[in-house]
Amino acid sequence: MTSVQVFLALIAALFLAPMAVGVLTGVDRRITARLQSRLGPPILQPFYDIGKLLGKEPMLANHWLAFCSFLYLAGAVTSVVLFFLQADLLLIFFVQAVGSVFLVIGALTVPSPYSQIGAHRELLQIIAYEPLLILVIVGIFLATGSFKIEAVYAMEQPLLFKLPLLFLVLGIALTIKLRKSPFDISASHHAHQEIVRGVYTEYSGPYLAIVEIAHWFEIVLILCLLSLFWSTGVVGLVLLLGITYFVEILVDNTTSRMTWRWMLGTAWITGITFSLINLLWLYYG
């Protein structure tokens, strides 16, 4: 990469991509509202929300929450930057895990039952999706012969044709990461009474804003991973992302939240079976 390209990649990773995801979440809320026969908030509502949170008086139940919220953001931003710099996929995944771990550690620092239970459920979510993401990355390696993103862009055919089942597996991970039904177990995007907001409960005011922004970066990363499956043309890429995200919204609105036992079982059994089949095709095909 030339230095100009690096500069452009940094701008895209740090500003454009999270902005786009902010808008996307706004659209998500609109479509969800329409599906539920409501009008829904303005498209830019997520930005207003963040602005409002940033203006609140900071209050904390434990100082380490401030520390952890920033490291969550740092981990998420670094992984997105690494993606735009076309680094090693497995490495990007591990850097992304730094953020997730600090989100959980922060929630664990407050002795409130909501945040403690939320944190443990978040950990269960992590062990549900992490192996799946690693297997998707291994699939990409088997298809391209490298863990580096540039190898994907060197492909002549979209990866989707070689990795259809792994694309579905990534869909499971995406649903968990987006905190959507039936996997919104640790922190539903609607604050369900039983868990309040789980792992998010104790992050408040400006610190919650930081956590929300970090979550946008995490969504950027997962969407970037999805985009790798159609790396050959912009039209196909946009279509693939649009359809996938719309399906996510539909699933979110037509399923109910399940227990973590069900989540772990489903994610592992379905995800690993699908991955295994797809990886075997690649290896012997």
Residue ranges in contact with another protein by CB under 8 A: 57-71, 74-75, 78, 87-91, 94-95, 97-98, 101, 104-117, 119-120, 123-124, 126-127, 130-131, 134-135, 138, 141-142, 145-148, 196, 201-202, 268, 272, 275-276, 279-280, 283
- 24/221 with CB nearer another protein: 221
Min separation Cβ 130 and another protein, Å: 4
Residue 156 has a CB neighbour count (10 Å cut-off) of 5
Q: How far is the CB of 108 from another protein (least distance, A)?
A: 3
At closest approach, how far in Å is the CB of 10 from another protein? 13
Specify the residue, 66 or 237, whose C-beta has the smaller distance to another protein.
66
The sign of the dihedral angle between the CA atoms of 57, 62, 65, 67 is positive
- Is the CB of residue 186 less than 8 Å from the CB of residue 107? no
Shortest Å, Cβ 272 to another protein: 6
Cα atoms in the Cβ-side hemisphere of radius 13 Å centred on 143? 28
Is the Cβ of residue 31 or residue 151 nearer to another protein in the bound state? 151
Q: Of 27 and 60, which CB lies nearer to another protein in the complex structure? A: 60
Cβ neighbors of 127 (< 8 A, separation 6 or more) are: 264
Phi, psi of 63 (to 5 degrees): -60, -30
In this structure, what are the phi and psi dihedrals at residue 88, rounded to the nearest 5 degrees? -75, 130
- Give φ, ψ of 38 to 5 degrees: -115, 170
Indicate the residue among 37 and 284 with the shorter CB distance to another protein. 284
